[in-house]
Amino acid sequence: MIGAQANFVTLAESTKADWDIVKQHWLPWLEDLPGRVLAHLAMLADDHGGFPVSRLEHSLQTATRAHRDGRDEDYVVCALLHDIGDALAPTNHAEFAADILKPYVSEANHWMIAHHGIFQLTYHASHWDLDPDAREQFRDHENFGRTVEFCERYDQVSFDRAYASLPLAFFAPLVGRVFSVKRLAERAAS
């Protein structure tokens, strides 16, 4: 039955039998999410965007720094994926990454990733005629300091050609655990 397909043309005419078929495909698709996330991240290896290192290397450096600093798995995976949206959502990459992570990580980590782009403006906004103090609008938010720290310690420093990053394969088990069906169920129940 796994090879079966639903038989409707519109959702309004779908039946429970159709949705039973769809559900049989859903769990294996969901279980393969870590592999798809890693495959998309790996595609950033050839994308430099003019930066000193590839977008993949930047992501690996950010995650490696967080890992070496003793951050938990959720935080490290957030660091790894913080710019995964650069290729598909260049003008809202932070929100793109945060949306991927939202069902699997804490609200604090989600907020940090969703807002890191605005917080990064502190370091380069003046070169774009943008407001380097744009993050100040969030000064009173409980995750302001967390996001400042993420940008300062891990993100903005991770363009170093000489830095010895851990390979993507090192992070695969972490991604697998964070994006597990079990984790999703636990988060949904809480």
Mind listing the pLDDT tens digit for each residue in 124-137?
Answer: 988 998 899 999 99
Q: What is the spatial distance between Cα 166 and Cα 158, in angstroms, rounded to a whole number?
A: 13
The DSSP letter of residue 91 is: T
- The percent of residues above 90 in pLDDT, for the chain, comes to 87
Torsion of CA 87, 103, 123, 128, to 10 degrees: 40
Give the other-Cβ count within 10 Å of 99's Cβ. Answer: 15
Structure confidence at residue 67 as a pLDDT band (50, 70, 90): very high
Check residue 1 and give its pLDDT.
46
pLDDT digits (tens, 9 = 90+) for 26-61: 989 999 999 999 999 999 999 888 999 999 999 999
| Mean pLDDT in residue range 147-166 | 98
pLDDT surpasses 80 at 76: yes
Which band of pLDDT confidence, cut at 50, 70 and 90, is reported for residue 115? very high
| Res 2: pLDDT | 58
What is the chain's length? Answer: 190
Tokens encoding 58:
């930047």
Average pLDDT, the chain: 94
